[in-house]
Structure formats: C-alpha cells, structure tokens
Amino acid sequence: EDIQVFPNPYFGTNEAERDFFAQFVTFSNLPEKCTIRVFTVSGMLVRELHAPEDALTSASGFGQTNTGAMHWDMLTSEGLEVAAGMYFYHVKDDMTGEEIVGKFAVIK
C-alpha cells in the first residue's frame, strides 16, 4: 500500500540524475520480489520490470537484492523514450499475489 513513484510528476529532469541521458523515476517501498508494469492511460503496456532482477545496478547499486526501491530508466520495452503524459503502474507481489495500482505523470 505504501508503494510510491518519485518524482511525481517527473518534469524532464530529476535532481538525483547524474546527467541528461540518465533519466529515471524511482519506485519505492517495493515487495522483495515483484513485477512492475507501466501502462499508458489507454491501457497500452509500456514496460514490464521484475525486482530485483531488473534493478539498474549502474545507477543504483542495488544488485540482485531488493532494497525496496528500483529505478526505471523511462524507456519502453522497445528502448524508446516515453512521451509526456499520464501513466499507470501495476505492482504485483510475486510471493503473496497482492496487487496495487497507482499513477504518475511525465511532463517534458
């Protein structure tokens, strides 16, 4: 229930980003093993991530252990940059089956 995405809204840059090409949002308070799906408002799947396997070790240093947070590089499954707009996320705890849905905005 405490899962959050920040910054929300994302304004084209994030204070934690090291350079313009390393854009990301962070999902926090994640279950130990979970699947994160990001969708457009129209319901199109943008990206599917698996924690801790897909953690961006170069940006976060999380490695293969889930610390409860994970960066998303704001790229689609095809490797394209996401457009400005509203997005929904669906997080499913792979161990308990519990699910939560939330939303965030990208402003560019």
Residue-wise pLDDT tens digits, 27-66: 999 988 999 999 999 999 999 999 888 765 434 444 455 5
- Radius of gyration, CA atoms only, the chain: 13
Give residue 105's pLDDT: 95
CA distances from 42 to 28, 39, 97, 106 (A): 25, 8, 25, 15
Percentage of the chain modeled with pLDDT above 90: 45
Residue 14: pLDDT band with limits 50, 70, 90? low
* Chain-centroid distance, C-alpha 79: 14
Is residue 89 over pLDDT 90?
Answer: yes
Burial class for 55, CB neighbours closer than 10 Å (0-12, 13-18, 19+): buried
Give residue 50's pLDDT: 92
